[in-house]
Amino acid sequence: MSPVTFRSVRDLPPMSRSADTMLWNRTGSWRFLRPRYQDKVAPCAEGCPAAEDIARVQILLGQGDFEAAWLRIREENPLPGVCGRVCYHPCEEACNRGEYDDPVTVNSLERFLADHAWKLGLTPPPPEPAAGGGRVAVVGAGPAGLAAAHFLRRLGHEVDLFDARDEPGGLLRYGIPEYRLPMDALAWEVGLILNDGVRFHGNRRLGGDLTWDELSGYDAVFLAAGTWKPAPLGAEGEEHARDGLALLEAIRRGETPEVSGKVAVIGGGNTAMDVARSLLRLGAEPVVYYRRRLQDMPALPEEIHEAREEGIPFQTLLAPKRIEPLPQGGFRLVLTTMEILEEDEGGRPRVVPSGHPDVEVEVDAVVTAIGAGPSEGVPAEVAGGGGLVSEGLHLKRIAPEGEWADRPPVFVGGDLVNDRKAVVTAIASGKEAALVIDARLRGRDAASIWPSIRVGRRGGVSMNRYLGGDRAAQQDHVVRYDELNTIYFRFQERRERPRITLEERRTGFDEVKMRISASLALKESERCFHCGQCDQCDNCYLFCPDVSVLRDLRAGTREINYDYCKGCGVCVVECPRNAMVLEEEPR
Amino acid sequence: MPIELPVHERMYSGHLACPGCGAAIAMRFLLKGLGEKAILSIPACCWSIIGGPFPYTALQVPVLHTAFETGGAVASGIRAALDARGDTETQVVTWAGDGGTFDIGLQSLSGAAERNENILYVCYDNEAYMNTGVQSSGATPTGAWTTTTPTGSPKPTRKKDIMQIMAAHRIPYAATASIAYPEDMVRKVQKAVSLKGTKFLHVYAPCPTGWKVPSEISVKLARLAVQTRIFPLYEVEDGVRYTINLEPVGYLVDEYYRTQGRFKHLTREDLDRIQAQVDENWERLKALARIG
């Protein structure tokens, strides 16, 4: 584009009239600041131990591309249907929308996407064959083992997945009740993992017929056998108490355990809630006894709330002291009354006997759910914790000393090592194990890769980034609420997922939380700010005084025309979600 | 919620506006609201320069550059010429700055409005003679620095209420608009061209250069002007029916004043006085909307 030239007076028009546009004038040369599109990390993604790219998932969901959104979750977490039901959703606590009105219901949207894929029978593309893979044994087919097997398989390794029980799923299958995680939903999602070519070997118990001799034949071992051995109650006559986890397992196996009448459930964690609520559904009258206060319970607030809604009584500041069988059947449970000694910073407060008289109750059964430890077959180095070295955020390794020096590296994850014992942290363990094992087998230094694949400063690691995907280009800055231009958002009520009636809940094992409709999911997804991620709202294009944002409406992309952009920065300020940045013009 | 506007683009890059120019943004929105057939009459103002020197143009619609005081008269003339040729379709639009509207072109605008000429007159208001070097105009707000109202004696009087002046002509449609509210502005342009007679749009268009603010907050300032009630968005039909289009958050004027170099000499007392003025104007507007 060159300026118009008039060679003689005769060339000039009779009156001043334009003959060309201003496009010859490359105003980009005025610029000393340069706007640029730059994706950043949304706080939800940093909050998620599995580092799911939640903002991008919401963008895809909002565009109606439910399959792409589901696959986007699966890049980081192969169990969205499970997590969409049972996750403690730290993403929602981190959500910037919480400072505006209420957090987005990320958890129920995750389940919506998984259920949509399930209903339609969608399958992810098969893993691409990769050369140079190794053979890896995964011991324990719970969430950690399943995640590790999934990612290792996708990374091109042969995977043998061992479990002490006959079917895969671990705690998901044998420890979480049907009303929270229906068996068919779990089976579908586990099936997708096994379909990738993971070889599952059931009824192979570590310390039983699965030996370290056999495991030493692999290039690496990931141990995620979970914690199944009930913790001792420390009360006289505790042999009369039943193990809550075993009870849950029996119910999951379709058995109807003989429990009726008044049942004391000891504990305040999720297992205690699961046991009490399962007993209620079996027709018993559970009462929860907990040594601290309601607010100190480690169970999810949601679980406690639902248990209380169902009418289960909670007795707190009571610690079991003695269980005595009664001649007419049943037991006398003697409980020590406790009091709070001091508020522990961060942790749970310490409790001591208050000196008040003991409380005695007559019950038909006592069930404990006060935590569990590693089963017998787990090596002492792991069970004691003394022989472990850290390998990641949710991953440890048995120190290669003594007899372990000659064995392939053994990585340990899931409930065996995690401080926060949860499904999503177990999945994070599995992913970290897959990354570290893959890096090791391919001669890469995992420790040096770690900083570049971690999402945000406090977040988990991303498989997408490890594989050099589009998240690798994200600036590792976590978008804060005050960095958003919230004028472009509107107050919209958070839409909780509907639940079945209390009557249905008290009498059967139907899933409590109902599926949400596509229209509800789309409405709720609209609430997402998409912090740090361009969702093509086009404010940059609309407000540009220099018509210098070029859009490709078909491809859904936009770019800045630096030939004319004067670098005013209006686009950066008007971007509602901080997905742009204004930088000094390079010289 | 994404902002939805017509996709057509009738402005070229390469124009001569300063970075972050509110008047350039306003022009884009005007053109998005106008139909395909329109003629602009531009009296002396920033846009006389922005559009480019002879023999160039930055716009894809015909433009007649004209003298400062003639915005209303030239548009009337173009309208008459088109009508004589039987072209009733083409919209005639005057695009003038605040100096050419509030001060120098007021008589010709008043004449056109009095005759109820079938034109759309758009005043993009950057609150001073910016093109000639920031001299005070009738649109300059109380307390502002300009080169003719230096910080030692900033503008003592109020901004002229051009909307009341236009409403007093009982023209079919007068409305305020802001570059921070594109959907509202485009709707008002579309509504104006659908009506016969004289239509007047008062468009708020911040000037980073003259207001001594960073270019990137140009739109943000326009939004703050609305949200502080300094520049409310409203319409007046037939000079009497007032409709307020957006209920402002009602931030204190400090939010708006404190970010601008042209106001940095103002004291607490000055700001309190200005706040009282803004509150008074707002109450009066609400009262007018009630009786309208």
User: Interior CA angle at B285 toward B280 and B288, to 5°?
Assistant: 130
Total domains in the fold of chain A: 4
Residues of B in contact with A20 (CB under 8 A): 55-57
Confidence of residue A346 (pLDDT cuts 50, 70, 90): low
The C-alpha atoms of residue A563 and residue A565 are separated, in whole angstroms, by 6
Could you tell me if residue B206 is inside a domain? yes
Does position B210 have pLDDT exceeding 80, yes or no? yes
Mean pLDDT of all residues in B174-203: 97
Contact A22 B20 (CB under 8 A): no
**Count of residues in chain A:** 587
Question: In this structure, are A323 and A274 located in the same domain?
Answer: yes
The yes-or-no verdict on residue A118 having pLDDT over 80 is yes
Last residue of a domain, one of A420, A444, A468: A444
A568–B54 C-beta distance less than 8 A: no
pLDDT-based confidence at A345, cuts 50/70/90?
low
Q: Are B196 and B172 in contact (CB under 8 A)?
A: yes
Amino acid identity of residue A25, one-letter, is N
Instruction: Check whether residue A105 and residue A174 sit in a common domain.
Output: no
pLDDT for the residue numbered A580: 96
Q: Which two tokens stand for residue A419?
A: 């401080």
| Rounded Cα–Cα distance for residues A281 and A306 (Å) | 13
Residue of A553, A568, A580, A582 to mutate, interface with B, max B Cβ within 10 Å: A568
pLDDT 10s digits, A197-228: 999 999 999 999 999 999 999 999 999 999 99
Structure tokens at A491: 């107050």
- Answer whether A487 sits within 8 Å of B52, measured CB to CB: no
pTM summary value: 0.91
Tokens of A75: 């890049």
A578: domain CATH number is: 3.30.70.20
Q: For residue B265, what is the domain's CATH number? A: 3.40.50.970
**Rounded distance, CA A370 to CA B141, Å?**
71
CA-based nearest distance A160→chain B, Å: 49
Domain presence at residue B5: no
Q: Which chain B residues are within 8 Å of A18, Cβ to Cβ?
A: 52, 54-57, 63
CB-based contact A22 B16, cutoff 8 Å: yes
Whether residue A334 sits in one domain with residue A398: no
B102 has a pLDDT exceeding 90: yes
- Model pLDDT, residue A385: 77
Do residue A353 and residue A427 come from a single domain? no
pLDDT at A553 over 90: no
**What's the confidence (pLDDT) of residue A132?**
83
| Residue A196 belongs to a domain | yes
Residue A468 lies in a domain: no
Which residue range(s) make up the domain with A283?
259-368
Same domain for A428 and A396, yes or no, is yes
Residue A473 within any structural domain of the chain: no
Is there a domain that residue A456 lies in? no
Partner-chain contact A547 B179, CB within 8 Å = no
Last residue of a domain, one of A341, A368, A395: A368
Token representation of residue B96: 């003038």
Mean pLDDT throughout A51-66?
97
Same domain, yes or no: A497 and A427:
no
Beta-carbon count within 10 A of A376 CB: 11
Looking at the structure, tell me whether residues A68 and A167 fall in a common domain: no
pLDDT the model gives residue B239? 96
* A232, A237, A382, A416, A461 from A378: Cα distances, Å: 18, 28, 7, 9, 27
Percentage of chain A lying above the pLDDT 90 cut: 88
H-helix or E-strand spanning residue A478: strand A475-478
Looking at residue A1, what is its pLDDT?
A: 62
Overall number of domains in chain B = 1
| Alpha-carbon gap: B220 to the closest alpha carbon of chain A (Å) | 7
* CATH number of the domain where residue A403 is located: 3.50.50.60
**A500-534, pLDDT tens digit by residue?**
999 999 999 999 999 899 999 999 999 999 999 99
Average pLDDT over every residue of B100-107: 98
Beta bridge partners of residue A160, listed in sequence order: A137, A199
Which residues in chain B are contacts of A525 at CB distance < 8 A?
none
pLDDT at residue A541 is higher than 80: yes
- What are the chain B neighbours of A573 within 8 Å (beta carbons)? 216-217, 219-220
Q: Who has greater pLDDT, B90 or A384?
A: B90
pLDDT tens digits, one per residue of A305-324: 999 999 999 999 999 999 99
With beta carbons less than 8 A apart as the criterion, state whether A189 and A79 touch. yes
- Chain B residues whose CB is inside 8 A of the A538 CB are 2-3
Q: Is residue A471 one of the residues assigned to a domain?
A: no
pLDDT for B243 equals 98
Q: N- to C-terminal Cα distance for chain B?
A: 31
Phi, psi of B175 (to 5 degrees): -150, 150
Average pLDDT over residues B159-188: 98
Predicted pLDDT of residue A288? 97
Nearest to A573 among B2, B55, B216 (CB): B216
Tokens of A152: 């290792």
Coil, helix or strand at residue B135:
strand
Q: How many CB pairs under 8 A join A and B?
A: 124
A361 and A289 within one domain? yes
Same domain for A77 and A58, yes or no, is yes
Bridging pattern class, strands A220-223 and A410-413: parallel
Q: Which 3-state string (H, E, C) describes A79-143?
A: CHHHHHHHCCCHHHHHCHHHHCCCCCCHHHHHHHHHHHHHHHCCCCCCCCCCCCCCEEEEECCCH
| Residue B12 counted as domain residue | no
Q: Is B114 on the interface with A (CB under 8 A)?
A: no
Among A459, A419, A431, A393, CA closest to A51: A459
Same structural domain for residues A387 and A422?
Answer: yes
What local confidence, expressed as pLDDT, does residue A407 receive? 95
Q: What is the pLDDT of residue A540?
A: 96
Res B88 pLDDT > 70? yes
Is A545–B13 a contact, with Cβ atoms under 8 angstroms apart? Answer: no
Report d(CA A341, CA A351) in Å as an integer.
5
Q: Is the pLDDT of residue A157 over 70?
A: yes
Using a CB-CB cut-off of 8 Å, the residues of chain A touching B17 are: 545-546
- Say if residue B55 is preceded by a cis peptide, omega within 30 of 0: yes
Does residue A117 sit within a domain? yes
Nearest to A547 by CA among B21, B185, B73, B175: B21
Q: pLDDT at residue A344 above 70?
A: no
Which one is predicted more confidently, A3 or B171?
B171
User: Is A387 among the domain residues?
Assistant: yes
Contact call for residues A264 and A363 (beta carbons, < 8 A): yes
Question: Do A221 and A264 fall within a single domain?
Answer: no
Q: Residue A465: helix, strand or coil by DSSP?
A: helix
| A475 in any annotated domain | no
Q: What is the mean pLDDT of chain A?
A: 94
CB atoms A547 and B11 under 8 Å = yes
Min Cα separation B99/chain A (Å) = 22
* Domain region containing B41: 22-291
- Contact call for B58 and A20, based on CB within 8 A: no
Please tell me whether residues A220 and A290 are part of one structural domain: no
